[in-house]
């Protein structure tokens, strides 16, 4: 399921990351969420956990090695812990398919898959993505062959400026993997966190339906290039 704005971990200058990747705040937060949990863990376990969290070496704020598995390839970069996943992908890995638009978990242009789940790469730290399988739009076509969804996006004219398209393809790829024959309502729900400023929604929905071997659903009117010229 797509993470909604607010669900995705927001970059925070005050977060302290530990060498294990666990943040001290995360440990304390997990502990603090439930008195029942703390009670169940027992005082000894709690104090052991705290001692371990305190003993771990904080990383940053300078650059540290960060290893990301992107489209099946492991790559190590030297990044400050504050660097977002989107900045790492675009600026360090040279993968510019995921777009930066709002940079605040609102538009979905930066969507990538993290272990198959769509996330806003602008609102997650690269260091937090270590250990996960990251898939970007560059990893969707195989051996130069577009996916059925990418072909349908072209066939159904599912884009105008194309700025939202990588994010749309990522979120719909995740949907079709889980639900190979989604209803029109399910497709619309899946793309609810992705904005298309050009208003290509009916054609994007039609593309998702076509990729799953179903009819478009919404009636589409195609404007011929001749009509464009006359208009
Ligand atoms: S750029 Fe990430 S949600 Fe808009
Ligand atoms: S095609 Fe332009 S923003 Fe969607």
Ligand 2 centroid – CA 57 distance (Å): 45
Judge whether 173 and 149 are in contact, CB under 8 Å: yes
In short, whether 210's Cβ falls inside 6 Å of ligand 1 is no
Instruction: Measure the CA–CA gap between 187 and 204, rounded to whole angstroms.
Output: 9
In short, whether 193's Cβ falls inside 6 Å of ligand 1 is no
In short, whether 107's Cβ falls inside 6 Å of ligand 1 is yes
Kindly list the domain boundaries of the chain, sorted by start residue: 20-56, 64-139, 140-231
| CATH number, domain 64-139 | 3.10.20.30
Per-residue confidence of the chain (231 residues) as pLDDT tens digits?
A: 444 433 443 333 334 455 555 555 565 555 555 555 556 667 777 777 777 777 777 787 899 999 999 999 999 999 999 999 999 999 999 999 999 999 999 999 999 999 999 999 999 999 999 999 999 999 999 999 999 999 999 999 999 999 999 999 999 999 999 999 999 999 999 999 999 999 999 999 999 999 999 987 656 655 555 544 443
In short, whether 10's Cβ falls inside 6 Å of ligand 1 is no
pLDDT for the residue 30 = 58
Pick the residue whose CA is nearest to atom 3 on ligand 1: 105
pLDDT for the residue 85 = 98
pTM: 0.75
Cβ count within 10 A of residue 154: 12
Domain 140-231 - what CATH class? mainly alpha
Pick the residue whose CA is nearest to atom 4 on ligand 2: 196
Ligand 2 atom nearest to CA at 199? 4
pLDDT for the residue 64 = 96
Ligand 1 centroid – CA 156 distance (Å): 25
Strands of 61-176, DSSP E:
64-70, 73-79, 111-114, 117-120, 133-135
Give yes or no for a cis peptide into 61 (omega within 30° of 0): yes
């Amino acid at each position: 399921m797509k993470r909604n704005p607010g669900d995705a971990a927001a970059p925070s200058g005050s977060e302290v990351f530990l060498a294990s990747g666990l943040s001290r705040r995360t440990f304390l937060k997990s502990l603090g969420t439930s008195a029942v949990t703390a009670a169940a863990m027992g005082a000894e376990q709690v104090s052991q956990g705290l001692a371990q969290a305190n003993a771990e070496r904080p990383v940053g704020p300078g650059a540290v090695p960060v290893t990301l598995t992107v489209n099946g390839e492991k790559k190590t970069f030297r990044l400050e812990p504050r660097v977002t996943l989107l900045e790492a992908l675009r600026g360090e890995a040279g993968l510019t398919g995921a777009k930066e638009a709002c940079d605040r978990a609102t538009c979905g242009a930066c969507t990538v898959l993290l272990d198959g789940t769509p996330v806003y790469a602008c609102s997650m730290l690269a260091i937090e993505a270590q250990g996960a399988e990251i898939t970007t739009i560059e990893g969707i076509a195989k051996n130069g062959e577009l996916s059925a969804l990418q072909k349908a996006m072209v066939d159904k004219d599912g884009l105008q400026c194309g700025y939202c398209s990588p994010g749309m393809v990522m979120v719909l790829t995740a949907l079709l993997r889980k639900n190979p024959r989604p209803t029109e309502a399910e497709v619309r729900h899946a793309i609810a966190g992705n904005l298309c400023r050009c208003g290509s929604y009916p054609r994007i929905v039609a593309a998702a339906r076509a990729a799953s071997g179903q009819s478009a659903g919404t009636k589409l009117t195609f404007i011929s290039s001749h009509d464009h010229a006359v208009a």
